[in-house]
A and B are shown apart, each in its own frame.
Chain A
Amino acid sequence: MEKTMNLTLRVWRQKNRLDVGKFVEYKLENISEDSSFLEMLDILSEQLVEGGHEPVAFDHDCREGICGMCSMTINGVPHGPEGGITACQLHMRHFHDGQIITIEPWRAKPFPVIKDLVVDRTAMDKIIQAGGFITGRAGSAVDANAMPIDKQTADYAMDAAACIGCGACVAACPNASAMLFTAAKVAHMNSLPQGKAEKNRRSLAMVTTMDGEGFGGCTNIGECEAACPKGIPLDMIAQLNRDYALAQVKNFFQPVL
């Protein structure tokens, strides 16, 4: 027989961008430990709708940890207490009967709350628009190994490319810094031969946009790495710092931007 639990939820409710917002407490009974965290929220929303209330708005799409849409801070930790997963991959078996669960949206100035737990993450798209691409026309796909890339570099770029852009790093950082996100995108592009040609321009443009969007600075404390569902390491922030510094030096002598 499956185990069930009774929970007290404290959920951030906010009608729209202008609303002040507040925590509202809900009691949920007989939640299966096999249900996912988002399914538990679906059950809550169904009960709310049945009672004639507004359901809790939250972002979700693939529900298998690859789209990066789900975004909620569960008991103070982005994507919840289990490391290396997104909120949609979190299951209720990691909670216990009678637990009080506080659910808040990502908190950052560049991420305004649209409704309840849904935030606007356009600021991250703008960072990508500033340099997260390769300008040259790619044409049709070349043969797989036409361009030799050593295994270590390929793995490193692949690790960086694992970033799903969910924004948990920003949410976890006490400074709401987007360094880990930007670093992953820069590391991904700057490491491979196709992206290297525009390395300096990219590093400068993406960091400038990141700062301009109102994200904070990095204090090297590593909360982002701990919260990242894809395990992007702090190494990549070090690489971003290095690439940015070198790009600034080159830009000083011969403007690249």
Chain B
Amino acid sequence: MCSLCSFFKSTIGRKILMALSGLVLVLFVLGHMLGNLQIFLGAEVINAYAHKLHHVLPSSGLWAIRLFLLGTVAVHIWTAISLTLDNRKARPQGYEHDKPIQASYGARTMRMSGVILLFFILFHIAHYTARVVPSMEYGEEGVLSETMVPLVKHGEVVMKEGEPIMTFNVNDMMVQGFDVWWVSVFYIIATGLLCLHLSHGFSSMFQSVGLRNTLWRKRLDQAALVYGWVVFLGFAVIPVACLTNILEVDPTGGAAEPVAAITETLHK
């Protein structure tokens, strides 16, 4: 058997793949959270950030990153399924008196939290990336009619060839999306499950690649808990802020003041 095949076939090899794909996702989640939190800095900031994400690379580069992330999720899911099937086969008859000695709830429910998170990710992509969830589309007939707003940077509308650059109003998309209460509840529950998933996964990935010992196990377990809570709070605060009207829609995309300033200058 070729050595790569034997690596992928072995339980340890698949666990290492799970750990490495998990690491990519752990880092992505942090970046995604920090990006999202910019909504608190104003509509123009989050809109400019979204514009940058879409235009800093050519579209082929953007798609390469998207496919890489989807591939990472696919590897994570494949290793989870194939290892779970092997693990089930190894214990055909369970114990009647079956209770864990010390394993944490998060560690024992990785499959449950993982499966629900998969459905969440699918919904999330349909909801905010593809924007195809029925009755929650954005566009002329959907929730938002005015979706394009001028791009604002440093308090000024960015102009190109005498015309303002128009960009998608991500601020209003998020605020209006989260104004649907059950969507917000689903997002908050899902990020809670993400916290649970990370409370085991964050530390576990170090074990799988062999970079953990008794001393660092304690530290990494605590770090995992902190990381899980930070990610949970960082994500959940946005739907909560939308539901409590701390964040509000801005149909001008933060361009009201700069436009007024420009108009004023023109009048002078």
Could you list which residues of chain A lie within 8 angstroms of chain B, going by C-beta atoms? 10, 23, 73, 75-77, 102, 104, 107-110, 172, 174-177, 179, 204, 207-208, 210-211, 214-223, 226-227, 233-235, 237-245, 248, 251-252, 255
Contacts and interface: CB of A to CB of B under 8 A. Distances in A.
Contacts of A208: 6, 10
Interface residues of B, number: 48
B217 interface: yes
B160 interface: no
A245 B89 contact: no
Interface in B199-246: 200, 203-204, 206-214, 217
26 contacts: A73-B95, A76-B95, A104-B96, A174-B108, A175-B90, A177-B90, A204-B6, A208-B6, A214-B90, A217-B12, A220-B204, A220-B208, A221-B103, A221-B200, A226-B102, A234-B217, A235-B217, A241-B207, A241-B209, A242-B209, A242-B210, A243-B210, A245-B209, A251-B3, A252-B3, A255-B3
A255 B11 CA distance: 20
Contacts of A214: 89-90
A241 B208 contact: yes
B99 interface: yes
B223 to A, nearest CB: 15
A226 B108 CA distance: 15
B175 to A, nearest CB: 40
Contacts of B83: 216-217, 219
Going nearest first, the 6 A-B pairs with the smallest beta carbon separation are: A242-B210, A217-B11, A216-B90, A175-B87, A76-B97, A216-B87
Contact of A102 (B91, B96, B104, B210): B96
Q: Is the interface of A mostly helix, strand, loop or mixed?
A: mixed
A242 B211 contact: yes
B41 interface: no
Contacts of B155: none
A241 B96 contact: no
Given A235-B213, A248-B3, A217 B207 contact: no
B159 to A, nearest CB: 54
Contact of A245 (B11, B12, B99): B12
B13 interface: yes
Contacts of B93: 107
Nearest to A227: B101
A110 B210 contact: no
Nearest to A204: B6
A16 to B, nearest CB: 15
Given A223-B102, A241-B15, A255-B3, A217 B86 contact: yes
B109 to A, nearest CB: 11
A257 to B, nearest CB: 8
A243 B211 CA distance: 11
B39 interface: no
B94 interface: yes
Given A216-B87, A242-B210, A222 B12 contact: no
A73 B97 contact: yes
A244 B101 CA distance: 28
A177 B91 CA distance: 9
B100 interface: yes
B266 interface: no
Contact of B91 (A73, A104, A216, A252): A216
B247 interface: no
Contacts of A77: 101
A72 to B, nearest CB: 11
A108 B103 contact: no
Contacts of B86: 175, 216-217
A124 B88 CA distance: 19
Contacts of A243: 210
A218 B15 contact: yes
Contact of B90 (A215, A226, A227, A234): A215
Given A110-B90, A216-B89, A251-B3, A244 B97 contact: no
Interface in B82-138: 83, 86-104, 107-108, 110
